[in-house]
Amino acid sequence: MTSQQSGALRHVVVVGASLAGLRACESLREEGFDGTITLVGAEHEIPYDRPPLSKKVLAGEWEVERIRLRKADDFESLALALRLGVRATALDTHARTLSLDDGTTVVYDGLILATGASPRRLPDQPLLAGVVELRTLADSVNLRDRIAGDTARVTVIGAGFIGLEVAATARALGCAVTVLEGAPSPLIRGLGVEMGAAVAGVHARNGVHLRCGVQVASLEGEGGQVTGVRLGDGSLVASDVVVVGIGVAPNTQWLVGSGLTIGDGIVCDATLSAGVPGVYAAGDCARWPNAAFAGFDDQEMRVEHWTNAAEQGAAAARNLLLVAGGGEAEPFSSVPFFWSDQFDSRIQFVGRAHGDDEVHVFAGSTDGAFAALYGYQGRLRGVLGVSMPRMVMPFRALLAANATWAEALAKAASLTAG
């Protein structure tokens, strides 16, 4: 589709030099759009892969250039107008203008919002050296330098996937690692209580001190350097480095007053349209009704996973072009999938976890490698595997087809037969 075929679409702006943003740019070019594409990014970096930040880059095993999503020559072939190192500060959907923090304004015909998310901070979190979050390449390099000497006492606040990946990397480097979690077990949001506790065993077997059901009262320091984490019971966890990993919030504050609907993300319809002509959203900042989970109480979802960002970025770009060319946008439906490498275990999950799910371990044992089904209201909702990749991915198609619990059990039996 050339720009002449796509109506008045001559200039598309993509906000967010992320995986979702890059996939949107690539899809625009692949679909034949030959107009101007402006890519706006808050970091000075060209798009890079974020999963290695808590693993290979943090461990010092990979150089920074290895995580670029495109080599320099390939990136230049997209012919993008780059606005890196600047943040979007306001959106006027009537004038179709985007304001940036360098005082400039960009006019657009089509807009794709892929602004991602930012780490949440502790209440009244002090500015102390050694207190870090992990979201950007600069964050990873900073933390890498602090734990490289293998003598640091590292405390991770929050036992989500990022926190546990950092804990595993730091422990493998020889650091003494404590993980603090307010919930009764780690990964409750992603895996539920029972399976979260099973994954915790991976860390216990590798010498990580995981403390659940504890509350953080404050961070303490001396001479501007963090010295420890004070808990609600008055005890102190001595620390040289504190990693705050208590989740992320979608980057949507700058859209207040824009006319878009904001509710834990940019609220979109099934086609990823943000409700205003020519504006779409993708990735960590987008909330949309996912037909793959129709009938469940969490059908409207915001997914913070690599695969979803890649798929949504491309889908948003295609729909922008389709509608501009007089066509009909296509609903975006996807079965979420994510993975996490921790020590010598690869944790994979396809689908969604629900607080009232029935969990059935169908292969292996929870004290080592295993695979488990998650079911709710007579349907399959998810599959978890710990170091059992062949037992996980065959279920993605079943989830997309809204498989019943009985069908999932039959598939599990066929995979483990013999």
235 Cβ contact partners less than 8 Å away, ≥ 6 residues apart? none
Per-domain residue ranges of the chain: 11-118+249-324, 121-246, 344-416
Long-range CB contacts for residues 394-399, cutoff 8 Å, separation at least 24: 395/350, 395/351, 396/335, 396/337, 396/350, 399/292, 399/335, 399/350, 399/351
107 or 192: which leads in pLDDT: 107
Rounded to the nearest 10°, the torsion over CA 287, 290, 294, 299 is -20
Per-residue confidence (pLDDT) for residue 73, from 0 to 100: 84
Residue range 344-416, CATH number: 3.30.390.30
Residue 2 has pLDDT above 60, yes or no: no
Rounded-to-integer distance, Cα 50 and Cα 19, Å: 8
11-118+249-324 placed in CATH 3.40.50.10320: no
Per-residue confidence (pLDDT) for residue 4, from 0 to 100: 38
Residue 136 has pLDDT above 90, yes or no: yes
- In degrees rounded to 5, what are phi and psi of residue 131? -95, 115
Mean pLDDT across 89-115: 98
Strand order, beta sheet including 176-181: 131-132, 241-244, 153-157, 176-181, 209-212
How many angstroms from the chain centroid is the CA of residue 222? 34
Under 8 Å between Cβ of 172 and 212? no
Write the pLDDT tens digit of every residue in 275-288: 999 999 999 999 99
Per DSSP (E only), the strands in 19-160 are: 36-41, 81-84, 88-92, 97-100, 105-107, 110-113, 117-119, 131-132, 153-157
Write the pLDDT tens digit of every residue in 21-57: 999 999 999 999 999 999 999 999 999 999 999 999 9
Helix runs in 129-192, H state only: 137-147, 161-172, 188-191
Under 8 Å between Cβ of 113 and 274? yes
| CATH topology match: 11-118+249-324 vs 344-416 | no
- Neighbour count for residue 407 (Cβ, 10 Å): 14
Note the pTM of the prediction, 2 decimals. 0.94
295 or 61: which leads in pLDDT: 61
- In degrees rounded to 5, what are phi and psi of residue 373? -100, 145
Q: 170: closest CA among 187, 186, 148, 138?
A: 148
Write the pLDDT tens digit of every residue in 241-291: 999 999 999 999 999 999 999 999 999 999 999 999 999 999 999 999 999
121-246 placed in CATH 3.40.50.150: no
Instruction: Give the end-to-end CA distance of the chain in Å, rounded to a whole number.
Output: 51
**Residue 124: helix, strand or coil by DSSP?**
coil
Residue 377 has pLDDT above 50, yes or no: yes
Per-residue confidence (pLDDT) for residue 7, from 0 to 100: 57
Tokens of 12: 């598309």
Mean pLDDT across 156-174: 96
Tokens of 112: 């794709």
